[in-house]
Structure 1
Amino acid sequence: MYLSRYEEAMLRGDYGDAIARAMQVIVRVGDVLKADKLLDIETAHIAGVSYLTIGDPGLEYLEDLAKSNARFRVFTTVNPVGIDMLNDWGIDKEFIDKQWRIINALKSMGASLWLTCTPYEYLRIRPRTYHAWAESNAVAYVNAIYDAWTEKLPGPFVVLSALVGKVPRYGLYTINGRTPTHIVRVKGNQPITDPLIAGLLGKRIAESVSDGKPYLVAKLGGNAVIKQLLASYATYSPHAFIVIDGITPNYKEYFAMMSRPEVIDIDINDIIKDAKTQARNFDAVFLGCPHYGIDEVLSVVNYVRNRGFKRAKKPIYIATTPFVINSLSQGIINMLKDSNIHLVLTTCPVVSPFLKSVRVNIVATESVKQMYYLPKMVGINYISCDGIECLDLAFDD
């Protein structure tokens, strides 16, 4: 693999031992993947930083890097952690303390502590720029919505890429590696507006194309639906790459690149039939995977207003970002809390013990991604609900 003089100097140790060790791994991985050179990245997004998932070994690794004066060379954001930075939710103090040590190690290396799985909603990302991202839903989103280029990378590898500002050129970092192999046509007269249906569609697409790369032709009704579709698709896809007709920048070029693609037709009515609401035995509603943005939170505010500010019979937890919290007045936050709706910051149930801490064992959720991870990661069961029905269940149960 070709290395520039600057890259050789980093590998040699001219910029410190931490950079040299990071370059050794990146070059070794690049050689295995038969990359021809390294690429300069504009941003990095680190995942896998909850103490629940990385434990003491991950904590010690990050602290060792921080103590060696390692610093990120590109703008670097971080995925949700295992705690809410504004509310302990009854989580064990030792867990909270160790999570803060992880956060502080990342901060000392120069990370921007947004602690969200949706950094794409707050960044200006140019098409055909290179990035090193680990969060699967974010990888799918920036590839599909911005035509920005990243593979679905392991969290520890992204840490190293952020330290040197480089990734090997392979796979989705090449135009040939982004050639769609399947055309997926979704039949239906109306735009898809239901988050659950969008998520189930994303799962169906991933299962239908396997390791292929789909070119999707569908009517999608808004960003909230797109987020759910891509998050679910990325959960079940090995690469999280998809082109959306009429939406992805350069989609016409991608369409022209295809050579005898396999065509798959999906009837959205079949997916709607499969999305019947299950038994109503649940402890709470969970929304916000991916993290809710301001528009999604405000839609809940409007729902509560239309309900006459009544109190939900079951608690509703909404995972969101510091940007959203800072955009809401304290009056709105208090109004939601009075309605038994709780905004949860900087975390996610699949990487945190907070649901167990508030004695929730079964959630009602619209997120197909959560349906995959909750039982596996934290032993939380679920029932599915489509869109506004999740709120209806909590208020009317």
Structure 2
Amino acid sequence: MHLSRIEEKMLSGEYGEVVEKAIRVVVKVGEALGAERLVEISHAHVSGISYFNIGDEGLELLEDLSNKGAKVGVYTTANPYSFAGLALYKDKELVEKQVRIIGSLLKIGVDPNSFTCTPYKLRKPLTGEHLAWAESSAVIYANSVLGARTNREGGLVALMSALIGRTYYAGMHSMENRKASEVIVALFDVDSILVASLLGLYIGGVSHSIPYVRARYSAENELLLDIMLRSMLASIATTSDLPMAVLESVTPQHTYIIEKGETISVDIRELENMNIKCYSDTLLLGCPHITLHELEALLRDRHLDLLQKYGISKVIVTVPKYDEKHYDVISKLIQKARERYSIEVQILPGACAVVSNLKLLGFTTIATPHGKALHYLQNLAGVKPCTIHV
């Protein structure tokens, strides 16, 4: 691999032990994938920060890096932590270890206002911008909706890229690899988060390369449309290893190449196999995270009335971290849902349900319209998921 003069100095240890190890990891991964050089990035996003996922070994690695003075070289955000980060578990040792993971990341230089799976809501990348992101739902959104360029990195590789401000130039960073060759045609209106999610799970299951998706989206406003799009894309990334999907009339032009390939038409009935019909009085929203403005749109009277008819008595919402200026908005939402509809709304900033052990918190079933949560809740969180039409 060809390295610049600065990169050679990094590799020789002139910038310290941590930087030397970091660039060695990135170079080795790049060489394995055929990269001939590195490329500077403007934003890194680290995943795998839940104690339930990385355990003592991951905690030890992060603390070792932070104790050796590791510092990020570019703007860096991190994925949500488990519910232990909000002290929702009685196990004090579990809570303490999750807090130590968060503390190590902050010491390294991760944005303290991040801890979200939607880093593009904090800082929107430009079209063509090179990133090193590790969260699959964020990666596919960045490539497909924003036209940015990032591979689907592992959490460790993204962290190493953050430390050196570079990643390997291969995969989605090169236009020649951004080719859509399978056309997916939805023969129905995508009119809800659930339908978008089920379509995404289906597409991920049948696609062997970057798909070109032709669909009609029906949403009340742009906020709800964006929730639908990122739920669909997150679902595609859940049932596949795809880093990108070309969405007709959405994906920026000149950020992909079209190749002739197979056309697959999808009837709404083909999504029934993924429709998990069961009952839960608890609803999960925010997988991927939704913003407080989006939550306002989802908790309007018409939607709350529908949730009441579904028998929902509790809504868990995972959102990015927020500051005090939003407290009034949140309190009014919670009060309205409780007093008018007897629905308790619990807002959990910076946290993620699917990387938390929900069984330990007493849950057995949870309803959700999000495909990613439907796929992971049972295996990772220990509860049975149910679909709900939202």
The alignment's TM-score, normalised by the length of structure 1, stands at 0.89
The alpha-carbon deviation at position 348 of structure 1 amounts to 1.2
Deviations 1:187-228 (A, max 9, x none): 23x4x1211111111111112212x11111112231111011
CA contact (8 A) 1:53 1:351 kept: yes
Please say which of residues 338-347 and 169-178 is displaced more in the overlay.
338-347
Pairing 1:100–2:103 present: no
CA contact (8 A) 1:200 1:271 kept: no
Provide structure 1 residue ranges, at least 5 long, that are not aligned to the other structure. 388-397
Pairing 1:194–2:198 present: no
After superposition, residues 240-389 of structure 1 pair within 5 angstroms as 240-250=243-253, 254=256, 257-267=257-267, 269-271=268-270, 273-274=272-273, 278-280=277-279, 282=280, 284-303=282-301, 307=305, 314-323=313-322, 326-329=325-328, 331-332=331-332, 334-335=334-335, 336=337, 339-353=343-357, 355-387=358-390
* Amino acid aligned to 2:194: L
Aligned to 2:16: 16
* Amino acid aligned to 1:175: M
Mark the CA change 1:305 to 1:245 in structure 2 (over 3 Å): closer, same or farther.
closer
The alpha-carbon deviation at position 271 of structure 1 amounts to 4.3
Aligned to 2:237: 234
Provide structure 2 residue ranges, at least 5 long, that are not aligned to the other structure. 219-224
Task: For 2:275 and 2:34, locate their aligned partners in 1 and report how far apart those are by CA, in whole Å.
Answer: 47
Task: For 1:325 and 1:366, locate their aligned partners in 2 and report how far apart those are by CA, in whole Å.
Answer: 29
CA contact (8 A) 2:133 2:150 kept: yes
Mark the CA change 1:171 to 1:378 in structure 2 (over 3 Å): closer, same or farther.
same
The alpha-carbon deviation at position 275 of structure 1 amounts to 6.4
Mark the CA change 1:350 to 1:306 in structure 2 (over 3 Å): closer, same or farther.
closer
The alpha-carbon deviation at position 258 of structure 1 amounts to 2.6
Task: For 1:151 and 1:35, locate their aligned partners in 2 and report how far apart those are by CA, in whole Å.
Answer: 12
Pairing 1:131–2:131 present: yes
CA contact (8 A) 2:299 2:333 kept: no
Aligned to 1:157: 157
Q: CA RMSD in A?
A: 2.4
SS at match of 1:218: strand
Pairing 1:89–2:88 present: yes
Pairing 1:215–2:212 present: yes
Please say which of residues 92-101 and 269-278 is displaced more in the overlay.
269-278
CA contact (8 A) 2:89 2:95 kept: no
Task: For 1:275 and 1:373, locate their aligned partners in 2 and report how far apart those are by CA, in whole Å.
Answer: 13
Aligned to 1:393: none
Please say which of residues 342-351 and 299-308 is displaced more in the overlay.
299-308
CA contact (8 A) 2:142 2:148 kept: yes
* Amino acid aligned to 2:192: D
The alpha-carbon deviation at position 337 of structure 1 amounts to 5.8
Deviations 1:103-129 (A, max 9, x none): 111101110131111111221210011
SS at match of 2:194: helix
The alpha-carbon deviation at position 307 of structure 1 amounts to 4.4
The alignment's TM-score, normalised by the length of structure 2, stands at 0.90
SS at match of 1:363: strand
* Amino acid aligned to 1:341: V
Task: For 1:204 and 1:20, locate their aligned partners in 2 and report how far apart those are by CA, in whole Å.
Answer: 43
Task: For 1:100 and 1:43, locate their aligned partners in 2 and report how far apart those are by CA, in whole Å.
Answer: 24
The alpha-carbon deviation at position 155 of structure 1 amounts to 0.3
The alignment of Structure 1 onto Structure 2 pairs a total of residues equal to 377
* Amino acid aligned to 2:349: L
